[in-house]
Amino acid sequence: MIDAATAATATLTRWRAGRPLARCFNVERGPLAFNPTARPARFRPFLGSAGAVVPTAYAGEDWLIAVAETVLRDDLPRVGARRVLSAVRLRGIAVAQLAYAEDLTLVQLNGYGLRKLDLTRADCIDTGPAMYPQTAALAHVLHDAQPQAQGLLWTSHQSDHGDAVILWESRLDRSWLAQIAPPLRLDSRPGLEHVREACENAGVLLEL
């Protein structure tokens, strides 16, 4: 999608210390655990210098973005033209607020950050699952070309009122990441009502 020389010119932005990060997570792993999966998704997976998948964590500036970027994925089954989220997929999923104790350095993939790389949202944000490998390749080249970067930032694909991020565990001091509010399970009320609101906003049918 871009070469290493272009990636080296990427714009870096700051997520200020203490600014909340809303994150959906599996309760068996906990809110601070990063995901080492090789399952394709936006901007993952890719291999680090040791030859292993770089563990990642998605988050957003609020719970609506966190749900939109994880639970309301583009690969949901469809009934006609409408995507359907079965409540079964919410079992064991919760959302929590986290914060990092120092500024996070992130590659900016919105606004001028995208234009500087000669990319558009259609290239890497407003894409479906078929483009996930290309977005993972983009993340890989940016990761390698920007050794000070700790992840990527973009305007959420499905809830574009704010920012979404993906963090790279290998670039963080995990001891500086903390949970700052109690988690809220999404498979029961009141968390389920938040999911219902997110589904309504995204045009997704919630099947209980």
CA 200 from centre of chain: 20
State residue 81's pLDDT score.
85
Which one-letter amino acid corresponds to residue 159? Answer: S
Dist. CA 25–CA 44, nearest whole Å: 16
Q: 60: which residues sit within 8 A by CB, 6+ positions away?
A: 21, 22, 23, 66, 68, 69, 156, 159, 162, 163, 164, 165
Domains of the chain, residue spans:
4-207
Give the per-residue pLDDT at 51. 93
pLDDT digit string (tens) for the chain, length 208 residues = 899 999 999 999 999 999 999 999 999 999 999 999 999 999 999 999 889 999 999 999 999 999 998 998 767 889 888 999 999 999 999 999 999 999 999 999 999 999 999 999 999 999 989 999 999 999 999 999 999 999 999 999 888 899 999 999 999 999 999 999 999 999 999 999 999 999 998 899 999 8
Distance CA 94, CA 90 (A): 8
Does the predicted model carry a pTM greater than 0.85? yes
Cα–Cα separations (whole angstroms), residue 74 to 32, 71, 83, 111, 158:
25, 9, 8, 23, 9
The pLDDT of residue 21 is 98
Amino acid at 176: W
Q: 87 and 206 in contact (C-beta within 8 Å)?
A: yes
DSSP string, 9-57: T--EEEE-TT--EEEEEETTT-TTPPB---S-BTTB--B-TTSSBPPEE
CATH architecture of the region 4-207: Alpha-Beta Complex (3.90)
Per-residue pLDDT, 158: 83
